[in-house]
Amino acid sequence: SAVISQKPSRDICQRGTSLTIQCQVDSQVTMMFWYRQQPGQSLTLIATANQGSEATYESGFVIDKFPISRPNLTFSTLTVSNMSPEDSSIYLCSVEREQETQYFGPGTRLLVL
């Protein structure tokens, strides 16, 4: 398995501001992922973050809105830029480990007013 932490665990933000979410893993991993879970909904992949290359974004998500950094093999950040109430969600990072398994962090609960 993997021990994954996220900061902050929750936040309340004003519209128009930006929030950077951190994801830390207890060991080196190649693949890290960022997901969004809107209220009462399932998870949607935002992007895949590999160390040493640009993040790969899914349809409907763009780098200007969700810039991602991956400076090393144990850490990544996701920024939610110019927030609006529609960005209120849980944001989760995950990592891929052995046997094609993905493990998730505890999530960051974001409320935009």
Footprint on this chain of another protein (rule: CB under 8 A): 1, 31, 33, 41-45, 48, 58, 92, 94, 96, 99-107
- Of residues 19 and 33, the one with the C-beta less far from another protein: 33
Instruction: Give CA–CA dist 59/64, Å, rounded.
Output: 14
Q: Which two tokens stand for residue 22?
A: 């951190």
Closest separation between CB of residue 15 and another protein, Å? 24
- Of residues 45 and 81, the one with the C-beta less far from another protein: 45
3-class SS at 96? strand
Closest separation between CB of residue 97 and another protein, Å? 10
Q: Which two tokens stand for residue 97?
A: 């480990």
- Of residues 36 and 77, the one with the C-beta less far from another protein: 36
Using CB atoms within 10 Å of the CB of residue 99, give its burial: 0 to 12 exposed, 13 to 18 middle, 19+ buried: exposed
